[in-house]
Structure 1
């Protein structure tokens, strides 16, 4: 019954998207008939997390190429300022908070770009602070969406496409040409700290280094620690790998379980700074990750990667590394996009439980 309900919810959602956009067009027939001119300052808004920010980088680069003289400011939520700090296409990073309005108003932005997911609140904020042209997407819904305060709202796309393309679609009305290459930076001090930690733990430059990333904000994306231990054992035995476990502070205990299961033959780096997290992946020869930001960091450095998907949709979030393998057992319940599994008993989180250690090993061996 719940699967049927989910399908009905999806049908209603698609219908609501088109109704939403139709209402927007009817109420705003003359908006954005001409492309904005004389753009000197741009505000880009992305208020989600690490991976979401990384997949905006192709669009940020395209904006800079289209308007090379313009200053580009990026507004992010608190705690994520370092993700794109140092990116050559960003002139300033602003932390979003409830009292941000006077700061934004003083900047006198010519163009505002709202990436996924947009909201009525954010588009209205940009209107109130005097942003002349406002483009983007807005959540569907009577209370949360409509995008009434945008000069140009993108037409809804109901077919799954990669999130980089979603972001590209937002700025297409500006006549921008774009590539999908992701860009992140690591400061020298972060790289030095990581290398020093390697030396301290007897990990040499010539060693085959494998990053295993276990943690996610969504339980439905997680693979069991027991299977990560078995995978790590294989890599140590057959590849003489040095195992590096990455993650945030909340992943520390889970990483310790894996480290213990491998008789301490792993380096637990959970809780490192964002830039150090990037640096560990930059140093890796292979990354094995569940559906989370580690995939996109690996893609930015074009690292060989095996990505494990369950509740997420690889058509939307798969890594972009040239040398990649995506494991997605779609004959099981998959791509529900939910953070908590609605299945019970033996079918609980079957999407990720269906991925065997042997399946991951086969994909590792199949990498170029």
Structure 2
């Protein structure tokens, strides 16, 4: 049982029927935080937990709207959650979403501390009528002198005290601290790491996709899942590095099958580059992107023999499904790194500018060779 005195008084939490948690969660965030929100639901089964994912950018960037769509699909498959508000493409759409949320009459609204905490406090204030409002504060802008204005209307404000964590901690430790601090929800450390359950229909569809994209006589080669792009250029690997790695791995085992994961807007260009290169065109390479549903991605990761990826949600999915993994990361925010095991290794960018592209193909090949017997 938690010994924390929670930020939200227990009588208010126990009487609440609807809770709105506001945070611009990405796929990896949700994977790790859902464990603790599900524990909250287990403690209070009658509480409806809704999630506000909109990041307040109000633009039409395809990657964020696509990610929001598949996140909603995933969250809707989780029985602990009720309603999800996705990312908006315009201010007008956001205003409609706020009006819709207001009709839900939330008893409690919580915002997570982020770099734009005051903006999410503003959204919460517009949604809130008579509910209990708790606003997270990450940075005290103007030395905190305007906090009373930024977070006006809040019943309480709070910041995450990461000083309570060990120097070498994982993102799950942060989310445990967050949810325990807010609600008094404590679970055993052994239960922190998440898992993923994939509906059988998607496993079957993935088997068909693999069969359709690789020749039957190549079926015994290792299936190597590759992802070189993220949502931040500093975390990207260059395309020539990706192709160089494929060529080297193909030279070691010509029966290997390679899946290149990309967003929909990159599919045609990657396929064209492969087709235009005689060496690549002769290899067993397929280009994948999520089509209709979120579970297409984790199902393919689960079917792979090894995942080699830059720092994105894909490395977290591989961890959750216990797939062999080589993750390439910057040294910034090491608490996001997956736990290192004989079949899961992390390569940090230690040269040049410290970008992921400063990790050489040779570094990945060396790591792969060391892991090969464990895969």
TM-score (norm 2): 0.73
**For 1:195 and 1:139, how far apart are their aligned partners in 2?**
44
Residue 227 of structure 1 corresponds to which residue in structure 2? 241
Residues 57 and 155 (structure 1 numbering): CA distance in 2 closer, same or farther, change over 3 Å? closer
**For 1:306 and 1:34, how far apart are their aligned partners in 2?**
43
Residue 59 of structure 2 corresponds to which residue in structure 1? none
Residues 288 and 34 (structure 1 numbering): CA distance in 2 closer, same or farther, change over 3 Å? same
**For 2:125 and 2:25, how far apart are their aligned partners in 1?**
21
**For 2:332 and 2:354, how far apart are their aligned partners in 1?**
15
Does 2:38 match 1:61? yes
Residues 72 and 350 (structure 1 numbering): CA distance in 2 closer, same or farther, change over 3 Å? closer
Give the C-alpha shift of residue 228 in structure 1.
1.8
Does 2:328 match 1:308? yes
Give the C-alpha shift of residue 246 in structure 1.
0.8
5+ residue gaps in structure 2?
1-5, 55-64, 88-93
Asked whether the equivalents of residues 18 and 47 of structure 2 are also in contact (C-alpha less than 8 Å), the reply is yes
Give the C-alpha shift of residue 353 in structure 1.
4.3
Does 2:285 match 1:266? yes
Residues 251 and 131 (structure 1 numbering): CA distance in 2 closer, same or farther, change over 3 Å? farther
Of residues 76-85 and 211-220 in structure 1, the stretch that sits farther from structure 2 once superposed is 76-85
Residues 249 and 141 (structure 1 numbering): CA distance in 2 closer, same or farther, change over 3 Å? farther
RMSD of aligned C-alpha atoms?
3.2
Asked whether the equivalents of residues 64 and 70 of structure 1 are also in contact (C-alpha less than 8 Å), the reply is yes
Residues 32 and 327 (structure 1 numbering): CA distance in 2 closer, same or farther, change over 3 Å? closer
**Over residues 152-185 of structure 1, what are the superposed CA-to-partner deviations in whole Å (9 max), with x where a residue is unaligned?**
4134437685333333222122221133222445
5+ residue gaps in structure 1?
1-30, 333-346
Does 2:363 match 1:359? yes
Residue 212 of structure 2 corresponds to which residue in structure 1? 200
**For 2:238 and 2:247, how far apart are their aligned partners in 1?**
14
Does 2:171 match 1:163? yes
Which secondary structure state, in structure 1, belongs to the residue aligned with residue 52 of structure 2? strand
Asked whether the equivalents of residues 222 and 305 of structure 2 are also in contact (C-alpha less than 8 Å), the reply is yes
Give the C-alpha shift of residue 288 in structure 1.
0.3
Q: Output aligned runs, 1:22-61, within 5 Å.
A: 32=7, 34-35=9-10, 36-61=13-38
Give the C-alpha shift of residue 48 in structure 1.
4.0
Partner residue of 2:260 out of 245, 249, 254: 245
Which secondary structure state, in structure 2, belongs to the residue aligned with residue 230 of structure 1? helix
Asked whether the equivalents of residues 85 and 97 of structure 2 are also in contact (C-alpha less than 8 Å), the reply is no
Asked whether the equivalents of residues 138 and 159 of structure 2 are also in contact (C-alpha less than 8 Å), the reply is no
**Over residues 228-259 of structure 1, what are the superposed CA-to-partner deviations in whole Å (9 max), with x where a residue is unaligned?**
22322333343532111112123325643467
Asked whether the equivalents of residues 281 and 287 of structure 1 are also in contact (C-alpha less than 8 Å), the reply is yes
The runs of 4+ residues in structure 1 deviating greater than 4 Å are 143-147, 158-161, 203-207, 258-261
Asked whether the equivalents of residues 73 and 92 of structure 1 are also in contact (C-alpha less than 8 Å), the reply is yes
Give the C-alpha shift of residue 194 in structure 1.
2.4
Residues 113 and 363 (structure 1 numbering): CA distance in 2 closer, same or farther, change over 3 Å? farther
Residue 101 of structure 2 corresponds to which residue in structure 1? 104
Q: Higher helix share goes to which structure?
A: 2
Asked whether the equivalents of residues 137 and 157 of structure 2 are also in contact (C-alpha less than 8 Å), the reply is no
Asked whether the equivalents of residues 209 and 243 of structure 1 are also in contact (C-alpha less than 8 Å), the reply is yes
